[in-house]
Structure 1
Amino acid sequence: MDVPHAKLRALYDFWRTRAAERRLPSRRDFLPEEFAPWMGHIAVVDVEHPSMEMRFGLFGAAFVYVNNIDLTGRPVAEMPAIVRDVILSDYRGCIESWQPLYTRRQSVNRDWTHIHRIVLPCSSDELLVDKLIVGLYTEGGKSPYQE
């Protein structure tokens, strides 16, 4: 998978090493302190089955900046309407395909910035994707969440 953003490439490589011989890593394969290089740029999405409802267990500062709202502990469906359908589609695609997704898109909230995002699926039982680790960085403008 091509991930041109250096910090998100490092996150992707880290995620891949944790899978070891399995198809996907489990969230429990990671210690919270291991995410220090990406602090503030991470969201963790809990996926409920069979309903496919998703909730942000963690919504980092870069996500708050881009979306103008802190959704920690809240459903993904509560994202601003302008981005909700695209985000839900991307997340569902990762859940169904068991594949990571990297995107670079123009921000809909800030016309002077682009958003680099990676979605990394995790499975605790090797049967269902039950967590998504999402990394996000911005590019352009005066954002404090670039790099």
Structure 2
Amino acid sequence: MQTTEDSLPDDLKTLLALWRMQAGTRRFPSRESFDGRTLMPWAGRLHLIEMLEDGDFYFHRFSPISAARLGLDMTGQRLSATVLDERATMTTSGYRRCLSLARPVCDQIAATFGDGRHHTPYDRLMLPLGSNDRPNFLLVGLWFHPADIPPDNHKARI
């Protein structure tokens, strides 16, 4: 579900403010505008993703918190290497939307899939990065809401 910047958790609002500062007068900042030290406050909850020429997505960095929750680290892998299910479709549509708009996109991923499976709900802030007029990288900040997991679901996952 798409949300507004106002509804983002403060932590992601701060990341968005940093992105805007790095962009300056450009539509979006370059990937090189960010380094590990600058992004340290969000280190556990960031993906750095490149959109490849063939339309697939490549994880240069996969959020360690996501990796722990999934039991799978996608760093250095293509998104197409995952099991293509409802989550991958939700994921790629958000990524493609952000890159085509070339502006920040935020959404909230609900706790239940259509088939009744549960996962940890989270807010997602997708920030385009690139050079010239075409973004080809995404910096994705995540904010998990484990308190919203149904109490009967002890194996919730994202």
Q: TM-score range by the shorter chain?
A: 0.7 to 0.9
User: For residues 123 and 68 of structure 1, what CA distance do their matches in structure 2 show?
Assistant: 30
Q: In structure 1, give the amino acid aligned to 2:6.
A: D
Question: Structure 1 residues 100 and 58, CA, compared in 2 at 3 Å: closer, same or farther?
Answer: same
Q: Work out whether residues 112 and 119 of structure 2, in 8 Å CA contact, stay in contact via their aligned partners in 1.
A: no
Please state if 1:118 is matched with 2:118: no
State the superposition RMSD in angstroms. 2.2
Q: After superposition, what is the alpha-carbon deviation per residue over 1:11-45, rounded to whole angstroms, capped at 9, x for unaligned?
A: 11111100011111001011221111001100000
- Summarize the alignment of residues 75-86 of structure 1 with structure 2, pairs less than 5 Å apart: 75-80=78-83, 81-86=85-90
Count, aligned residues: 141
Q: CA deviation at 1:67?
A: 3.4
Question: Structure 1 residues 68 and 107, CA, compared in 2 at 3 Å: closer, same or farther?
Answer: farther
For 1:133, which of 119, 139, 142 is the aligned residue? 139
Question: Structure 1 residues 94 and 30, CA, compared in 2 at 3 Å: closer, same or farther?
Answer: same
| Percent identical residues | 25
Q: In structure 1, give the amino acid aligned to 2:34.
A: F
Q: CA deviation at 1:111?
A: 2.8
Q: Provide structure 2 residue ranges, at least 5 long, that are not aligned to the other structure.
A: 150-158
Q: Provide structure 1 residue ranges, at least 5 long, that are not aligned to the other structure.
A: none
**Larger Cα Rg: Structure 1 or Structure 2?**
2
Q: Work out whether residues 23 and 29 of structure 2, in 8 Å CA contact, stay in contact via their aligned partners in 1.
A: yes
